[in-house]
Every structure is written in structure tokens, then in C-alpha cells.
Amino acid sequence: MKLLSDLLYDARILEVRGTTHVAVEHIAVDSRQVQPLGLFVAIQGTVVDGHDFIDQAIASGAACVICERMPEETPEHVTVIQVKSSPKALGHVAAAFHDHPSRDMKVVAVTGTNGKTTTVTLLHQLYRLLDRKAGMLGTVENRIVDRVIPATHTTPDALSLQALLREMADAGCTYAFMEASSHAIVQDRIAGTHFAGAVFTNITHDHLDYHGDFNGYIKAKKQLFDQLPASAFAVVNNDDSHAEDMVADTKAKVVTMAVQNVADERARLTENQITGLVLQLDGQELYS
């Protein structure tokens, strides 16, 4: 159980109706899942608008509501918080509800059109081979150390993401490697997550039905690097012509990687067989 006031520090609040000194036992974005002492976050989706179900959430026992549009009337015992962006507020509130799990370990996000799953899987396996506890969030599956949890999305929703990160931190994970899809980035599913670093694999003409055009797709990916703190790192594939665009405005330390172009770190593929790859990196042979 948490106090609502303790969950709102990073939410951009526009108006408060009621007291924030109220207990919160769970958070829901689906009014059908609300229980007594619940916090309901109303999110406007492409098909359904959560604001239309605020009354239903209150009837189910919601003690407080976060929304972008204030309802005209609500019971006096219900606290209503108006925010600029409900999805972004949800990410921050969910992170606070789970005691900011990304601050208890290093979370590394991997984004790009291709190679996200391969990269997070290799990173997770590498750390496990070093006998270090690590977590993984990916398209195929999620892992908490060696426990497999089925994946439903490339990047989980904000509530599931923070809950999984908390499980990883509690299990002793020192690193978590996660895929960050462009949809998740623009939908603020990763809001509230502190990233120790991010990796850019490549970008091709994909998902244009969602982002409108290629520039919109690039900007979506770039948002991940724009939000990195100065203490973080950004690794980019310099063989991709848009690598420089990704890190143009980042505060993070940039490290370039390449096989063909000039880069801080260069690798050469010497063997590519069904049993694995052989790479040369800094004069050493690596097998995977």
C-alpha cells in the first residue's frame, strides 16, 4: 500500500480535486479491474477512451482517479488528479508504486527495426555465462534470471513493465536488458524508467502506418536517446546512416560500433555458420 501523494512526485499535475493523503493498494487502466482503494488512470486510446469509464471505476471502489479531462462531478470521497498526459503519468506512478526498480539495477534498452531480440538475448546470455543475475524483456519471452515468463508485447505496458522490473531487482538482478519498440516509446510505456544505457541497431522503412512517415519513425526512436541522462551510455550502429541522428541531442556518452564504417569499436565477421558466428573485435576472436 502506498500514499497517493508519494506516487505523484514526477507526474505533471494540472489540478487536484480532493486530498492526496489517501491509500492506494493497486493501479488499473481497465475499469473492470478496479477494486476498493484502487487508483484508476483514464487513458484515451485509439478505440476506447478511459475517461468514459471513470464513473464505472468509482463504482467499483476507485479511491482516486488520474485523468487528462476533469469529470464534471465526482463523489467527495474520491480524489481526482488532472495531468497533462495520462500515459506518461502512469509510467511515473507505476514506477513509484514499485519503489523505482530501475534505480536498483542497470536497465539497458535496445531499439531498432531489426536485431532487438537477438541483442537483448545475447546480452542476457553473456551475463548469465559470467554467473551474474540479469533480467530480460523481449518479444519472444521475458526472463528473471533463468525463470521464463511469456511475453505479450515487445515492450510491456507501463504497469507490467514496472512490476517485472521490481521482480528482477528483488531477485538480485544487477542488469536488465529490454527491447524498446517505437510504439512503446511514443506511447510512454517506458516513462518512469531510469536507463543506464541504450543501444541502436538500425532503422528501415517499417511501421510507417503507425508513425505516418519515415521521419516520424526516426523521431520516435530518437526519443529514447534524448531522455538518457549524462551518466548513461548510448551505443549506436555506425553502419546505419541514421546513427548520428539518433544521438544528435543525447546527453549520454556515445560509443559507435561498425563492421564497415569508421567507428570507436569495429568488428569483423569471419565466420557465419548455422552453429554460430565468429567475430574479430579488438584483435580477439569471439564465438557466439
Give the pLDDT band of residue 212 (cuts 50, 70, 90): low
Q: Which of 56-65, 213-222, 253-262 has the highest mean pLDDT?
A: 56-65
**Mean pLDDT, the chain, whole residue set:** 94
Choice among 37-46, 205-214, 253-262 with the minimum mean pLDDT: 205-214
208 has pLDDT over 80: no
Using DSSP, state whether 85 is helix, strand or coil: coil
What nine digits make up the cell of 154?
515487445
Question: Candidates 3.10.20.30, 3.40.1390.10, 3.90.1150.10, 3.40.50.620; correct CATH number of 2-97?
Answer: 3.40.1390.10
Instruction: Give the pLDDT of residue 279.
Output: 81
Same-fold call for 2-97 versus 101-287? no
Measured between alpha carbons, how far is 33 from 105 in angstroms, rounded to an integer? 30
283 has pLDDT over 80: no
Question: pLDDT per residue over 120-151, tens digit each?
Answer: 999 999 999 999 999 999 999 999 999 999 99
Cβ contact 252:233 at 8 Å:
yes
Q: Could you tell me the CA-to-CA distances from 246 to 13, 123, 134 in Å, in that order?
A: 30, 21, 27
Question: pLDDT per residue over 226-263, tens digit each?
Answer: 999 999 999 999 999 999 999 999 999 999 999 889 88
Question: pLDDT per residue over 152-170, tens digit each?
Answer: 888 899 999 999 999 999 9
Q: Could you tell me the CA-to-CA distances from 273 to 74, 260, 269, 288 in Å, in that order?
A: 64, 20, 11, 10
65 has pLDDT over 90: yes
* Averaged pLDDT for residues 193-213: 84
Instruction: Give the pLDDT of residue 207.
Output: 59
Amino acid at position 32, single letter: R
Cβ contact 107:196 at 8 Å:
yes
Measured between alpha carbons, how far is 43 from 54 in angstroms, rounded to an integer? 10
More confident residue, 191 or 276: 191
- Looking at the domain covering 101-287, what would its CATH class be? alpha beta
What are phi and psi for residue 219, nearest 5 degrees? Answer: -60, -35
Q: Where are the beta strands (DSSP E) in the chain?
A: 2-3, 13-17, 23-24, 26-28, 38-41, 62-67, 79-83, 106-111, 134-137, 141-144, 147-150, 175-179, 197-200, 233-237, 253-258, 265-273, 276-281, 284-287
Give the pLDDT band of residue 211 (cuts 50, 70, 90): low
> Domain spans of the chain?
2-97, 101-287
287 has pLDDT over 90: no
Instruction: Give the pLDDT of residue 34.
Output: 97
Using DSSP, state whether 44 is helix, strand or coil: strand
209 has pLDDT over 70: no
Instruction: Give the pLDDT of residue 15.
Output: 97
